[in-house]
Amino acid sequence: MQRHPLPHAATPHSTRPRPAPHAPPPAHAPLSRRALATLLLAPLCLVPPSLADDAPAAAGVTRELSSEERLLLEQNQRIAALNRAPEDFPIFVRKGYEVKVLADGYTYSPDGLVFKEFAAGSGPQPEEGQQVVFHYTAYNESGRTIDSSYRQGRPAETRLGIGGMIPGFEATLRGMRVGGKRRVVVPPDLGPPVGPATFFSAKQFEVFDVELLAVKSCVRTQSGMFSTVQCQ
């Protein structure tokens, strides 16, 4: 069974839309080994839209956009607007198997995440094995909302280190403090697995708005042949 950013019970799979129009070919489309390797190793270029001509970007690799890429940028901006993407939502420009993430005020971290800090938070930072309580909204590359704890009417909870989240989402929570708010771009290599046995048919970036609400310490108790974990 595939791993989702959150426990399966808290996140219905039926809410995930089909891949965006500018997504790479789905898994059932034949790909040569060379093309697949290019997809997996394609460089990530972080380019603020306001600096897309000649000025250097705040982070990542900046290259001047070609005329074809500018047309793709305009098309993807229109799609994001139709999907009611939030303000400052990053725009993804795909040319072949290379992806450029166009975003203002974002940071490109060494682990491959691209994020924007809205509030740093002043509470504790979660540690291995602790229970994290958080709100989130998940988007696809086109800015369409695919899942949200706000829609479910309650925050999500899960423990760090038990494999209940995709790697990029868990890495985001580990780097936050309680009270923090962050938007993070999770690249495919830190996202959910793809393939015929999963609900994800193409390697796409995912975007999450995350608010870390609380951290709970957990203790395992033994009662006869059974053990339980209690977090508070």
Is residue 206 in some structural domain? yes
Is residue 2 in some structural domain? no
Is residue 67 in some structural domain? yes
134 vs 211: CA distance, rounded Å:
5
Which of the two residues, 163 and 35, has the higher pLDDT score? 163
pLDDT confidence of residue 185: 94
Is residue 22 in some structural domain? yes
C-alpha distances in Å from residue 12, one per residue of 4, 89, 105, 161: 10, 24, 32, 22
Summarised one tens digit per residue, pLDDT across range 117-133 is: 999 999 999 999 999 99
> Which amino acid makes up residue 101?
V
**Average of pLDDT values for 183-197?**
82
Cβ-based neighbour number of residue 58 at 10 Å: 16
pLDDT confidence of residue 79: 94
C-alpha distances in Å from residue 74, one per residue of 45, 82, 120, 183, 202: 17, 13, 32, 22, 23
Summarised one tens digit per residue, pLDDT across range 50-102 is: 434 333 333 333 346 788 888 888 999 999 999 999 988 999 888 777 888 88
Q: How many domains does the chain fold into? A: 1
Instruction: Identify the domain containing residue 144 by its residue range.
Output: 8-231
Is residue 3 in some structural domain? no
Is residue 84 in some structural domain? yes
Summarised one tens digit per residue, pLDDT across range 36-54 is: 222 222 344 554 444 343 3
Q: What is the CATH number of the domain that holds 164?
A: 3.10.50.40
Is residue 92 in some structural domain? yes
Is residue 127 in some structural domain? yes
DSSP codes of every residue in 162-219 = SS-S-HHHHHHHHT--TT-EEEEEEPGGGS---STTSS--S---EEEEEEEEEEE-EE
**Average of pLDDT values for 146-155?**
93
